[in-house]
Amino acid sequence: MTEPDLNQPMLSVQNLSKKFGKHMAVDQLNFMLRSGEVVGLLGPNGAGKSTLIKCIVGLLRPSGGEIRINGHIRGSRSARKTSAYVPEIPQLYGMLSVWQHLQFIASAYEVEQWEENAESLLKMFEIWDKKDEFVKTLSKGMRQKLSLCCGVVSNAQMLFLDEPMVGLDPKAIKYLKDLIHQLKDEGKTLFISTHLLDPIETVCNRVIVLKKGRIIAEGSLEDLRHQLGEERASLEEVFLGVTADV
């Protein structure tokens, strides 16, 4: 596993653009994430959140700009080994069992002695009893839990989570928040795209707010509260304030 270089950003995005025809979905974005940070990516529907994540992880080809993960150019073997992606819609193999998925990911990322962590994750999300069942038999919520477990069992230093709480019940969301705190304590870096604001308010160091493909606000909750002059505002109130049309 590639260790992070603490002297450089874990993620660096410079002048990133993505255009679909005449529509500029992501427009000249510049930002970085430091090692060990948890950063929320927020924005209204159509703001460009999923497009941005997919450009970073290599599912979409940017129209311009540069992306580096732990100093490595996006798409390189070193960048892929450093990072893992949990998509909004789980991309799983119906004829593999739950356990076989985790085994496959551990092998792909060359993780040794992964079994204890995998068992702990499955028990945390209450799907340990499903470990030998084919994924095609699982409910939507269970598939989402397995997708999260696969991302974490990779032991990647950088995790990209796209709407990770969609499809989860309240108990599973609580478990996910606890897991994010645990990963943060371990020094992992997380970039979380979500429209569910309450669950991430207590786990993020900073948030980045997109609107129409551009960054309109960035900083800690305290920073954004100060900018709005609302020192006790919730993340939801801050979000509504910075995205309001003038």
Q: What percent of the chain has pLDDT over 90?
A: 70
Q: Would the pLDDT of 6 be above 60?
A: no
pLDDT tens digits for range 48-79: 999 999 999 999 999 999 999 999 888 888 88
Architecture of the domain whose range is 11-243: 3-Layer(aba) Sandwich (3.40)
Could you read off the pLDDT of 73-117 as tens digits, one per residue? 888 888 888 999 999 999 899 999 999 999 999 999 999 999 999
DSSP the chain: -PPP-TTS-SEEEEEEEEEETTEEEEEEEEEEE-TT-EEEEE-STTSSHHHHHHHHHTSS--SEEEEEETTEETTSHHHHHHEEEE-SS----TTSBHHHHHHHHHHHTT-SS-HHHHHHHHHHTT-GGGTTSBGGGS-HHHHHHHHHHHHHHTT-SEEEEESTTTT--HHHHHHHHHHHHHHHHTT-EEEEE-S--GGGTTT-SEEEEEETTEEEEEE-HHHHHHHHT-TT--HHHHHHHHHS--
Q: Output the pTM of the full model.
A: 0.91
Q: What is the mean pLDDT of residues 111-133?
A: 95
Q: Which strands, in side-by-side order, build the sheet including 64-69?
A: 23-33, 11-20, 64-69, 72-73
* 136 against 198, higher pLDDT: 136
* Average pLDDT score, the chain: 90
